[in-house]
């Protein structure tokens, strides 16, 4: 019994850690906000200094800080997400600790011009191979992907600006799975005024179980090869 209690409390800590930023990422966030308070809103490169501590000097991402790669993502999507963080549409759910952290940083960007300038600088980064940390049944993932996801995200998960559905191929797999689960659980996209997030929120409930969600992400990663 004692063992079970111990196991349960370890699991609880593990779960809460997933959503609560640790000391090192809180320190990086404080540094970033300080840097942003001093940067000019037109200088994308100077603004990006504040982002590099978590997302990497070339937008390569950092799994230890739960920070996704930005280098492979489309600029219209990056811009819309930053504006969503700024307005509070994203990162406001009480269980979205990392989203809240990113929201505070986005709000410290001096103004909306600064959003454009920093995304313009990110667009100069070379694409990088996405992190592959998951294994699964690619064939089963492919079937579910083509039936349920491809109509919006594109047959090669290349994204579709008209539908505002981002590229998924080339984005770190751990991040895709985490975001998918956040949509499923209403941690992201639960607010109806978050037009595109809400659409994806409904899709988060469409896959029957965790194993299949895992397989779909593994398939998406295979498309970036």
Binding site for ligand HEC (CB under 6 A): 25, 28-29, 32, 47, 50-51, 53-55, 65-68, 70, 73, 78, 81-82, 98-99, 101-102, 105, 109, 118, 148-149, 151-153, 163-166, 168, 171, 176, 179-180, 189, 196-197, 199-200, 203, 206-207, 216
Shortest Å, Cβ 51 to ligand HEC: 3
User: Minimum Å distance from CB 223 to ligand HEC?
Assistant: 12
b/e code 45-66 from CB counts within 10 Å (16+ = b) = ebbbbbbbbbbbeebbbbeebb
Min CB(219)–ligand HEC separation in Å: 9
Question: In this structure, what DSSP letter does residue 131 have?
Answer: P
| Closest CB 172 distance from ligand HEC, rounded Å | 9
Judge contact between 70 and 122, C-beta under 8 A: yes
In the complex with ligand HEC, the residue whose CB is nearer, 8 or 30, is 30
* Minimum CB distance to ligand HEC smaller for 9 or for 16: 16
Give the whole-angstrom CA distance, residue 104 versus residue 108. Answer: 6
Note the helical H segments in 61-205: 75-87, 97-108, 112-122, 138-148, 150-153, 173-184, 195-203
């Amino acid at each position: 019994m004692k063992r079970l209690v111990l196991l349960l409390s370890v699991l609880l800590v593990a779960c809460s850690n997933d959503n609560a930023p640790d000391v090192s990422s809180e320190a990086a966030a404080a540094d970033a906000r300080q840097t942003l308070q001093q940067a000019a809103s037109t200088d994308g490169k100077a603004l990006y200094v504040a982002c590099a501590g978590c997302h990497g000097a070339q937008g390569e991402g950092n799994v230890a800080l739960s920070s996704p790669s930005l280098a492979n993502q489309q600029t219209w999507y990056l811009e819309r997400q930053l504006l969503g963080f700024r307005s509070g549409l994203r990162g406001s759910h009480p269980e979205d600790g990392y989203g809240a952290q990113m929201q505070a940083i986005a709000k410290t960007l001096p103004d909306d011009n600064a959003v454009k300038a920093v995304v313009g600088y990110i667009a100069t980064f070379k694409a990088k191979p996405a992190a592959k940390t998951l294994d699964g049944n690619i064939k089963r993932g492919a079937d579910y992907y083509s039936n349920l996801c491809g109509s919006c995200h594109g047959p090669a998960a290349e994204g579709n600006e008209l539908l505002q559905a981002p590229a998924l191929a080339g984005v770190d797999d751990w991040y895709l799975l985490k975001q998918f689960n956040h949509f499923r659980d209403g941690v992201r996209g639960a607010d109806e005024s978050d037009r595109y997030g809400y659409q994806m929120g409904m899709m988060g409930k469409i896959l029957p179980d965790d194993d299949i969600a895992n397989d779909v992400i593994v398939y998406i990663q295979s498309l970036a090869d």
